[in-house]
Amino acid sequence: MQKIKNIEEGVRLRVQHEDDLWTLAQIVRPGCQVGMMGFRRDQSTGTQESGRAKAADRKAVWIVLDAETTEFQQFTDNLRIHGIISQADFDKGSHHTHAVGPRDELEISWRGGISESDRSLLAEAVQDSGRGRAAIAVVESDEILLFEIAQHGMRQVGDTFTLRGGGKREGKSTEIRTAFLAKVADQASKAISVDMPIVICGPGMAREQFESLLKATGVGHRTLNIGTSIGGRSAANEVMREGGADAVLGEFAMAKQVRLIEEGLIRVSTNGAVAYGRKELEQAVEQGAVESLVIEAGMLRSEDFWADAASQVRATGGEVVQASADHDAGEQLMGMGGAIGLLRWKIE
């Protein structure tokens, strides 16, 4: 995200990457105005020719909406903002939808100015500007999974590549395994953008052979090879949790979210310095005990209680991490109520 300039009670922004759309989906909500170029049919240009109506011209016009709802799905390049036209050359009061994508410019303003939580999330997006995505390949001798890692989400790329049949077949030859790995390496090199570094992980040595075969495709992906204690999707989570791939993933917002949520779950299991649930968190915040508050971004904007709690945490020197639910750790966070606090001391 690029911040172009401040405007009255808001900002003018340029969308640079698909990940920026997730941020916009959080900070645009009822009560704010969003302006950008759009197209509308100017009904005043319609005429009658030979008794037949001529279609009105479509004109490019700057349109400001009173935002009502947004539609966004992670790993897509389109955010839709629905609302009522409050400022335009014509059609004021009509419904309109802004379709926002990379390279678009827009202005967002909030009544009373931008909130602390929105400012923080926007600053994070501006700081992350230019940082691309990454991929994780979980490699076993008879199964390979590919994942795309964004700032706030993780998705599997394609189907699971497998040699496994209806039952576990025995006696697979080295040639069959090598051919399998070579085929998947070729497909992975085409499915994953060359700009994405690839973390190759897994519990065995098949990942070493896969890395060699991937490099042999000549595409030129930057790779990092890491051993894990387990295979499957859990291996991808282990890579982010344990920090072994920090050279590639360490600065990703999602990697930080995963580590903090996992640390919180460990503290829960050991009866440590942690709080979750509204009552416990309220008590911890009042005591100034919260060192890190991890909260689902949408929930932070759903109630004044959570916004006030986040403000108090920042005021006492703690950090507030706005998390996404579009990855495994985020789903675990939602299962615990959407927020968890890592504490400076254990509260009774």
* CATH number listed for the domain at residues 2-40+57-127: 2.30.30.870
pLDDT band for position 280 (cuts 50, 70, 90): very high
| Rounded distance between C-alpha atoms, residue 74 and residue 153, angstroms | 7
Mean pLDDT of all residues in the chain? Answer: 90
Query: What is the spatial distance between Cα 94 and Cα 335, in angstroms, rounded to a whole number?
Result: 40
pLDDT above 60: residue 169 = no
Global pTM value = 0.85
pLDDT tens-digit profile of 77-117? 889 999 999 999 988 999 999 999 999 999 999 998 999 99
CATH superfamily, with its number, for domain 134-249 = eRF1 domain 2 (3.30.420.60)
| CA distances, 197 to each of 23, 46, 50 (Å) | 23, 53, 62
Task: Tokens for 91, please give them.
Answer: 């059609």
- Here the tokens at position 308 are 């006030």
Give domain limits for the chain. Answer: 2-40+57-127, 134-249, 256-343
Question: pLDDT class for 170, splitting at 50, 70, 90?
Answer: very low
- CA distances (Å), origin 347, targets 159, 275, 276, 280, 340: 46, 8, 12, 9, 14
Architecture field, domain 256-343 = 2-Layer Sandwich (3.30)
